[in-house]
Structure 1
Amino acid sequence: MAHDLECTYDPDRDIVLEGGGEVEIIWYVDYTCRHTRRIRDIIRRSPKRFGEQSTATVVRFIMPEEGDRGAELAARAAIAAERQGKFADMHRLLFEQPPQYTQEGLENLARHLSLDLYQFRDDMRAEATDEKLAFDRNALGDTSDLHMPLIFIDGRFYGGAWDEDAIIDAIERPLGVRISLAGEDFFHWAASAGLVLILATLAALVVANVGWHDSYEQFRETDFALSFGEHSFALPLEMWINDGLMALFFLLVGIEIKREIIFGELSEWDRAILPIIGAVGGMVVPALVYVGINFGGEYIHGWGVPMATDIAFTLGIMALLGSKVPTSLKVFVSALAIADDLGAIMVIALFYGEGFHLQPFFLALAVMAVMAALNWGRVWNRMPYMFLGVVLWYYIHESGLHATLAGVITAAMLPSRRPADGRSVAAQAAAIVEGEDEPAKMGDTAVRRLQNAVERLREPGFHLQEALEAYSNYLILPLFAFFNTGLLIIGSSFSPLAPESLGVMLGLLIGKPLGIVGIVWIATKLGFARLSSEISWLQMIGAGFLAGVGFTMSIFISSAAFEGGELESVKLAVLLASTCAAVAGSAILWFAPKIGANGTG
């Protein structure tokens, strides 16, 4: 993606337009692109705002893949002029000309600059010029998701506004901008959510095992109440997190599931069949392993604990492995984890509620009917659904069903529509700007119309996910981990051979990979599905082990299924099994390409 791109200055091959300071601006130029022409004055003025000696502006060239050769001719003319020390002058003249360049017209510009015309022609066709254009193109890499103009500031792709003040901030990097960039880098790192979860878990384990266990438990059980007049609604702090905040997490899970079913990997049967089959096998076999170990015992109801996969950890580990994991395998595991989440949600809703009360259940159905009516009436505003979602959460909680079900139902009730045509939205935005008397000082009405046009590019669920995803990954899930993994290890009576603990560990460590790989193998042999040629069976086994990282979802289900000392033991079993599954899966995926290269995989 664009925000991951990096470009650094090469003094042997790059052309410096002006300046020589510490801050490097690398500007990819297509002289025929109207957007590059529009931003040219901003690029030219920005260094002058705070001293030309503070920046070095480097020009590289990019040509459209299709169309006439005007952009390439212009780039060759600029490089040829640089050979005679007149690059800045030729650069300026090329922008001042209409963007229809010909060899004759470029030679006229060379005459105007008093260049040696014979050398100019030779340099335009020279092998060194070919190498320079190839270097610029290769340094940029894949441009499929990039849009002109392209600017890199200190090696970092600039994806901000085409505004002079915004570019100045990106160049000067005041404290606020540096904090924002550091946060953006961290959030875009695929493993960051998993790392925060690990830190929260370690913090809980430290607090519980250094003498603060009683205070930790007391804090978890502290009541927090909402009151209105004589009415009061109180829950322990742990339940507010597990039933309340986690409903937002399940809202985002529901949005992702719905998007994949309607528009994504699960929308077409031929693409969805393999991950769905894998998810079913990865849920059924671990549950059977647990039931087999606990059959006839008092803890058989915990069969749902080893069924779940923690998507944040699993995909985070695969991201850390980088090119060791084929893209098709990442897509398969992503779709499998989403189908797995859907199965876990159904299991929680059907089997892990707390009793059942008819009146609040009917009131919950009434709220759902109102949400469905809003959906049917194509009410696209998200706020009514969020307000009704809170009401729905209360009635589902009071009915005895698991309250987090409200998040999934709210996601299902959000209206969906295909993204708008980007060209139409861009044309509308241009018309709004051009219709202003002073486009540089747009009125509030025009700004609101622009916001409405841009928002239409995605469905309501996308914008809600964008607004809440960071809070879910870096606040809600870490809080859940901290409040649910403060297990007393030192002096605990944990026994890995206890049936409930053994069932969970073997379910995650053996049941998950066996169920996923086994059913996928059967499906491919029977012709129901086809495994991508990029994926070896050894890599599939590694992915199956990574799916055994249950963590968040498994601990969530265990909190609904157990209590007391058994809950502590099961949680510790989840942590141990998830750690072992992560190590085993990572090792297999790391060495799988080497084994395959030796012809033994």
Structure 2
Amino acid sequence: MDREDRQIPAPADVPSDRPQSARDFLTGIAGARRSVLWYETFSDRSDPAARAILRRVLSRAEASKTAQVAVRVRPEENDEVAMGRARAAIAAGWQGAFFDMQRDLTGGDAPSNRPGFVDAARRLGLDTDRFTDDLTSGRTRRRVAEDLALAQRSGTARGPLLFIDGRRYSGVLDEAALTEALERPLGLRLRTASADFFEWAASGGLVLIVATLAALAVVNLGWHEGYERLRQSVVSLGWNDAIFALSVEQWVNDGLMTVFFLIVGIEIKREVVAGELSNPSRAALPIAAALGGMIVPALIYAAINLGQDTVHGWGVPMATDIAFTLGLLALLGRRVPASLRVLVSALAIADDLGAILVIAVFYSSGIAFGPLVVAAAILAAMVGLNRARVYALWPYVLLGLLLWAAVFAGGLHATLAGVLTALAIPSRKPAAVHGVAAQTAELMRAEAERAETGEGFANQSVERLTEIVDRLREPGVHLQKTLENWTSFLILPLFAFFNTGILLAGSGFAPFSAPSLGVILGLVVGKPVGICLAAFVVLRAGWATKSDEVTWRHLIGAGCLAGIGFTMSIFIADAAFDGPALDGVKIGVLLASTVSAAIGLGILWEARPAERKGTT
């Protein structure tokens, strides 16, 4: 492919995931229930069986008048044979024979050079002189370049690239699965809708808002007593005479939230071992910004509450709700550069680490050394498993449960057990890609030969594939993926529901009381000031770098979004306060988080990325 062709952009008015009738080569009836867009590679390396399955399913859909199919070309740029076939198919398309030529160019004896293409055109009854001219014409080369640019815009994964009704098909290349994707039964539609919602970056924050509004509505619309009875209901675990009893609120705050902190711990460890926090030059800016964003709000709160009993609540405005902050950044889309999202993600993780340390050191009470000795022994056993390279997850989960009980009995905040368990789970480098690819290819080749004789997939092969998949990621990542949706869509909403049910009419909330004012100013003012001031210092001193596409306006807006304390601030408030004072501080957190979100979104909505040059 020539350099000039590579510079041809994707047409701005052509969608990359849906056919365009005025441009694309189409087959089937217009107005069919399904629209299908297929990017054909024309490569000999493509699996002919997969291509045959795809062609059979699409042919049946066309015959039943349920789908209209468009095909674009996507040859690899360094595959001259595939590039020639793509141009030949398009040249035939100018004479209305694209699909016939596509079939001839992807069969068992497909031509691979110019004479072969001309012979194929002659067999199809095309004007060979016109076909020969079109093979190298400017419009043919431009169409190939445009299709490649459109494919690049929609996804660059190798293998078949297929869109059904504008949605990329990522399922198995199996006739039953493809047919189901085209028929779209109710079960598939429900799975698709739920997957879309779970994958939407802002969905976790939306569910938290709904849970918070539900709690406020229940309490303030006449069901306050029932809400309190439910929250204080005791749930017990017992064995003979031994009984362990906690209220529903405690089970959520001290029990389920441990799972949330387990995931936070896994994220922290991954960032420190192999992420943004693993490189000192890249880690300096988010770590400094996180420290500034914790110290300044704490100082503001302490200054306002100096000399009062409420001064111990200085940890409340230090925290950032990572789910809300990153969710709002995702909603801004291309208005914010990707490097800003990476920076804020690393900053929020460093902030979480600081919040965990604050909770463990300053908001634990009634220390009992006997259970803590047991906790230390359990942790030592987990470290021993780590050192012995035991990668199975179940021993760490089992010991983590025992660690939770010991930490809880020892007077430390029980959620610390989640973080310690995450740190004990071993890390290892992912498997070598080439070795895994070769092993998988050999395994699947053997299974394809078995399939020719009518045999099913061997159980042993399934087990080996499972082992390969497990080896592609660290054990902690697999655990995180298993628990992530449960945390985002059940545990955190339950926490929000049972901790934000505040009776507004009788709360006696005073925004200018020392605790409330300290929390509000700490989050709304202290967070952006601390983050930006710390960033300025380390950048000016040359201790850190930032991408040129991240402007100071971006940093200020991100600093304001970091003032969304919500779940983390409420969590610390619950450890620091009780009674009416706790309700007042919670209202302050909700108010400050709302104001911070509005200011941050307003600033970033009008921001524009700086010209990308590198890092400074």
Fold-level match, TM-score > 0.5?
A: yes
In structure 2, the residue matched to 1:176 is: 187
In structure 2, the residue matched to 1:58 is: 70
Q: In structure 2, how many angstroms separate the alpha carbons of the residues matched to 1:13 and 1:525?
A: 53
Distance change >3 Å, CA 98–CA 399, structure 1 → 2:
farther
Given residue 487 of structure 2, which amino acid in structure 1 is its aligned partner?
S
Residue of structure 1 aligned with 2:18, choices 1, 8, 20: 8
Residue of structure 2 aligned with 1:345, choices 353, 356, 360: 356
1:558 match: secondary structure: helix
- For residues 476-503 of structure 1, the C-alpha deviation after alignment (integer angstroms, 9 at most, x for no partner) is 1001000000111123310011111111
Q: In structure 1, how many angstroms separate the alpha carbons of the residues matched to 2:42 and 2:590?
A: 57
Residue of structure 2 aligned with 1:278, choices 282, 285, 289: 289
Residue of structure 1 aligned with 2:509, choices 489, 494, 507: 494
Q: In structure 1, how many angstroms separate the alpha carbons of the residues matched to 2:22 and 2:142?
A: 12
Indicate if the aligned counterparts of 1:17 and 1:87 stay in contact, CA closer than 8 A.
no
In structure 1, the residue matched to 2:130 is: 119
Given residue 319 of structure 2, which amino acid in structure 1 is its aligned partner?
A
Given residue 72 of structure 2, which amino acid in structure 1 is its aligned partner?
R
Q: In structure 1, how many angstroms separate the alpha carbons of the residues matched to 2:16 and 2:118?
A: 35
Q: In structure 2, how many angstroms separate the alpha carbons of the residues matched to 1:350 and 1:427?
A: 50
Given residue 57 of structure 1, which amino acid in structure 2 is its aligned partner?
V
1:183-194 pair list within 5 angstroms: 183-194=194-205
1:437-456 pair list within 5 angstroms: 438-439=450-451, 441-456=456-471
Q: In structure 1, how many angstroms separate the alpha carbons of the residues matched to 2:560 and 2:367?
A: 37
Distance change >3 Å, CA 300–CA 99, structure 1 → 2:
farther
Distance change >3 Å, CA 52–CA 78, structure 1 → 2:
farther
Distance change >3 Å, CA 445–CA 267, structure 1 → 2:
same
Matched, 1:431 2:442: yes
- For residues 236-267 of structure 1, the C-alpha deviation after alignment (integer angstroms, 9 at most, x for no partner) is 00010001100000000000110111111111
Given residue 107 of structure 2, which amino acid in structure 1 is its aligned partner?
E
In structure 2, the residue matched to 1:581 is: 596
2:115 match: secondary structure: helix
In structure 2, the residue matched to 1:508 is: 523
Q: In structure 1, how many angstroms separate the alpha carbons of the residues matched to 2:213 and 2:237?
A: 31
In structure 2, the residue matched to 1:306 is: 317
Given residue 288 of structure 1, which amino acid in structure 2 is its aligned partner?
L
Q: What is the TM-score with the length of structure 2 in the denominator?
A: 0.93
Q: In structure 2, how many angstroms separate the alpha carbons of the residues matched to 1:397 and 1:541?
A: 39
Indicate if the aligned counterparts of 2:205 and 2:323 stay in contact, CA closer than 8 A.
yes
Q: In structure 1, how many angstroms separate the alpha carbons of the residues matched to 2:603 and 2:201?
A: 20
Q: In structure 2, how many angstroms separate the alpha carbons of the residues matched to 1:500 and 1:360?
A: 34
Deviation at 1:313, TM superposition (A): 0.6
Q: In structure 1, how many angstroms separate the alpha carbons of the residues matched to 2:549 and 2:445?
A: 50
Aligned residues: 591
In structure 1, the residue matched to 2:94 is: 83
Q: In structure 1, how many angstroms separate the alpha carbons of the residues matched to 2:506 and 2:151?
A: 57
- For residues 31-66 of structure 1, the C-alpha deviation after alignment (integer angstroms, 9 at most, x for no partner) is 11523533211112214556531122221101213x
Q: In structure 2, how many angstroms separate the alpha carbons of the residues matched to 1:99 and 1:367?
A: 65
In structure 2, the residue matched to 1:403 is: 414
Deviation at 1:367, TM superposition (A): 0.9
Residue of structure 2 aligned with 1:530, choices 536, 545, 549: 545
Q: In structure 2, how many angstroms separate the alpha carbons of the residues matched to 1:458 and 1:294?
A: 47
1:313-392 pair list within 5 angstroms: 313-392=324-403
Q: In structure 1, how many angstroms separate the alpha carbons of the residues matched to 2:609 and 2:469?
A: 47
TM-align CA RMSD: 1.8
Q: In structure 2, how many angstroms separate the alpha carbons of the residues matched to 1:257 and 1:145?
A: 30
Deviation at 1:434, TM superposition (A): 2.8
- For residues 334-379 of structure 1, the C-alpha deviation after alignment (integer angstroms, 9 at most, x for no partner) is 1000000000001111111121111111111111111111111111
Residue of structure 2 aligned with 1:139, choices 139, 145, 150: 150
Q: In structure 1, how many angstroms separate the alpha carbons of the residues matched to 2:293 and 2:515?
A: 19
Q: In structure 2, how many angstroms separate the alpha carbons of the residues matched to 1:414 and 1:338?
A: 18
Distance change >3 Å, CA 548–CA 92, structure 1 → 2:
same
In structure 2, the residue matched to 1:210 is: 221
In structure 2, the residue matched to 1:599 is: none
